[in-house]
Structure 1
């Protein structure tokens, strides 16, 4: 080595040239959701919605899934394009419900069902338009709270009550799940299903990879799943450790007019006995003779049921037919029969009136002494199908040796608020058609669980069923054949007091408060910095 060799550090190496070609762009911020196919979510949501309308072909799991896909569709679509399509889906589901249950397509029913579809889209619109302005908790609670609030408002103030749109109806065989309605009313089931939808969407948007599975992302799904599990386990515990009441039972019979007798009355009248306006214009003697043919069969079957041990006998809705002028004599005969057999007899009659509304849908309960204990007139005639004048006043309750008896008529049982009655046994005379009858009786069974009484629905041309206060079916009879012997069921004489019957719709009011508070907060707040993912579309 030369003495002149330098020991200084070598000069830094020259920077390596960048490879030829376009410059590398700055890394993009990771999207919260991988772009999907909104049309697929819409189709899935539509298909599943058709299987969760409270009809003959319901699939219980579909009621837990369809909202998830409809929300996914809306959250990945421009709102003013997506919301009208969801309205179409929900309106179409209502028409599908009416078609499969053979609901007559009259102007009022069509407008009513389509109107329900439009209104049912409100929770979806709130989620799409307002949820991006809320924090995580608000995004998770707004939709289920709005869904439950809407179900409550429709069930209380809508002319159709809960006949359509109450999601709890789709879960009729899951008694463990349904026990919660004895605390909260049926709207808690709606809330849980809505919460599943928002929690699933939150996980869908944020939980794609293992690195994403932080508590922030999976917490809502875990919380909702835990809540559903608590409800199911708690309900199963109620069924297992608080079984049906061991109180004595009473034998209750349901009576229907036979198809043969109705056909005979048709021939005598020259028109259907249910055509009230036509009957009003007929010769009174002819009407009286046709009504007597029907009523005599009912009285004979009542005597047969009493001698088979029935202590309470109820007739299905509008079983008897009687002119208003002949009503006193008819009721005298019925009271005498109750006295002779020592039974409680709940007579259900269509009373022909000489002028509009041409009919009165009522029940009259006779005690074992033959005296009248109540006269009840149907509070909720079916809009567009029944022209009866609506009854008023409280639902009747009568103390008997067999517990406190109460009574509503058919469609009345689709209004939960009307059914808050301190009773042990609720009698529900029904009158349906085959497609509707089986479903309608299941709907009425929810009222038994909500209020803690046994419920007996004697249904013409449908399905008669007796439920205990936990929703168990005690007895049933298919009445679509039109020629049924008296249906007899042994029913517990003591009910129980439920939380829901005492506090009413507190849960629904809480949901309404959350909906209003979240909506007001969202309207006043600027749009969130990180909007809900839109599958590449601007929010």
Structure 2
């Protein structure tokens, strides 16, 4: 089962046909690799590049030997992963490098399956192997790896295309990966044999894409929220206060363990300065009309023995200002190997503790916190059902299927990755049918409604006051994805062995 090599037209004088074909194939590989660099979920993404690179790389692998083509496709994906690591300033630790190599190998599998199966499946079913494999691999990466949708999801490149994004309310993010890959397979079928016979599958693919866009546009236009909103404020410490606190803790040797064991006099000034600044910001925003206030992830650094005092001060402010207050705390204790916790505490207007939540997905290679149990807390309030996760948790779609109206996401990124990470989190709002407010300590904070509209943003590095204010809808809507889960993704996983069996059976009959 193989696809014939690319046919050649009359070559220039002095160039053999085989050499010209080889040059053409590797030009496709180079162009596809360059396009893929700008479709990796980074700060330099170009949405159109995500639709272009699979067409070019698929053409290369279909006109090259299966194993040679697969090896080069892996190299192309590895180059894209390395580019993403650099543009996002992820560092170069062994976990990051090993993860990039492994994810690149997994992402190459759809190209190999297409090369081996497409010719044996016929012009209609032959267009389905590649998209099913792309959606399946994206799904398995989020389920089996510690990287979630941080890397390897084509949907995150399309975060600005709201009509297209609505399909994720049914299929999850994997539906967009399927559509992009289906277009690549259909276009390659017509590219290889531009006849009426191959034009029909391509036309069907185009019609489905148009229907998805039209249906998404209709959903945006015809299903608005009911008009009730609540004012939510996200507040981060002033940059001067935050920088002074980081500097003070950075002078304590021994990292987290050293901070946990240090004399309280070395840590308390940083804790008090940050806490006082956040309490003052909370009071200010409550006076301006905010009913819910969110602090970022790890907002207040505190030794374990001093944590009750931090929570008590926040409880008093929640009572005084009559707000729901979601506080982020970095707790340092002497128990290894984590030497601390990354947690949030939601306080009611009466000062009651409504939840204490620990981050379920520490970042591989950089965070040693003991993971929480992954149960998303949800409480009913006059402003709908409020839920909470922490930063990287939002990169795991299955965890984010919570029956909530408003999802709070305290986060802590850095300059190079803050905006892309917040854009990725916005997809969860469409999938789950809830508004999402992400307060980022050192990145882009944003509020999204349940359709993916951006309600407000605040750039930590671009504004003097690190405050996000948004009027957020209080009523979400249960989505099909919330009800059926990853059914679409599992169907794509199941399709791979079925298509393989069909290709083998057809090959034997011939």
Could you state the TM-score of these two structures normalised by the residue count of structure 2? 0.93
Structure 1 stretch displaced more, 87-96 or 57-66: 57-66
Shift of 1:281: 3.7
Corresponding residue for residue 17 of structure 1: none
For structure 1, the residue ranges without an aligned partner over 5 or more in a row are 1-30, 530-539
Shift of 1:41: 1.2
For structure 2, the residue ranges without an aligned partner over 5 or more in a row are 9-20
- Aligned: 1:86 with 2:78: no
SS of alignment partner, residue 313 of structure 1: strand
Shift of 1:495: 0.8
Shift of 1:133: 2.7
| Contact 2:123–2:201 (CA under 8 A) maintained in structure 1 | no
- Aligned: 1:341 with 2:321: yes
Which residues of 2 match residues 135-150 of structure 1 at below 5 A? 135-150=122-137
SS of alignment partner, residue 498 of structure 2: helix
Give a deviation string over 1:174-200, Cα, whole Å, max 9, x none: 101111111111111100111111101
| Contact 2:446–2:468 (CA under 8 A) maintained in structure 1 | no
Shift of 1:485: 4.3
Which residues of 2 match residues 117-128 of structure 1 at below 5 A? 117-128=104-115
Give a deviation string over 1:130-179, Cα, whole Å, max 9, x none: 32332333311111001001111112221010001111111111101111
Give a deviation string over 1:474-525, Cα, whole Å, max 9, x none: 0111112585243211101111111111111111111111112112333465
- Aligned: 1:513 with 2:494: yes
Corresponding residue for residue 310 of structure 1: 290
Give a deviation string over 1:87-136, Cα, whole Å, max 9, x none: 01001101101111111111111111111001110010111123233233
CA distance in 1, matches of 2:90, 2:250: 25
CA distance in 2, matches of 1:306, 1:320: 20
CA distance in 2, matches of 1:434, 1:317: 15
CA distance in 2, matches of 1:34, 1:397: 60
Runs of 4+ off more than 6 Å: none
CA separation of 1:458 and 1:272: change in aligned 2, threshold 3 A: farther
Which residues of 2 match residues 274-423 of structure 1 at below 5 A? 275-356=255-336, 357-423=338-404
Structure 1 stretch displaced more, 473-482 or 119-128: 473-482
Corresponding residue for residue 425 of structure 2: 444
Q: Once superposed, what is the RMSD of the aligned Cα atoms? A: 1.8
Corresponding residue for residue 472 of structure 1: 453
| Contact 2:291–2:322 (CA under 8 A) maintained in structure 1 | yes
| Contact 2:136–2:490 (CA under 8 A) maintained in structure 1 | yes
Corresponding residue for residue 234 of structure 1: 215
CA distance in 1, matches of 2:394, 2:312: 29
Corresponding residue for residue 3 of structure 1: none
Corresponding residue for residue 83 of structure 2: 96
CA distance in 1, matches of 2:246, 2:75: 42
- Aligned: 1:108 with 2:106: no
CA distance in 2, matches of 1:264, 1:73: 53
Shift of 1:454: 0.3
CA distance in 1, matches of 2:279, 2:240: 16
Which residues of 2 match residues 170-209 of structure 1 at below 5 A? 170-207=157-194
- Aligned: 1:163 with 2:150: yes
User: How many pairs align?
Assistant: 492
CA distance in 1, matches of 2:306, 2:201: 65
CA distance in 1, matches of 2:48, 2:430: 21
CA distance in 2, matches of 1:268, 1:53: 36
CA distance in 1, matches of 2:249, 2:79: 40
Shift of 1:33: 5.2
SS of alignment partner, residue 488 of structure 1: strand
| Contact 1:132–1:528 (CA under 8 A) maintained in structure 2 | no
Give a deviation string over 1:193-229, Cα, whole Å, max 9, x none: 111111011101111xxxx3x2x22111100000000
CA distance in 1, matches of 2:374, 2:129: 37
CA separation of 1:147 and 1:272: change in aligned 2, threshold 3 A: farther
The structure number with the bigger radius of gyration is 1
Corresponding residue for residue 73 of structure 1: 60
Structure 1 stretch displaced more, 262-271 or 51-60: 262-271
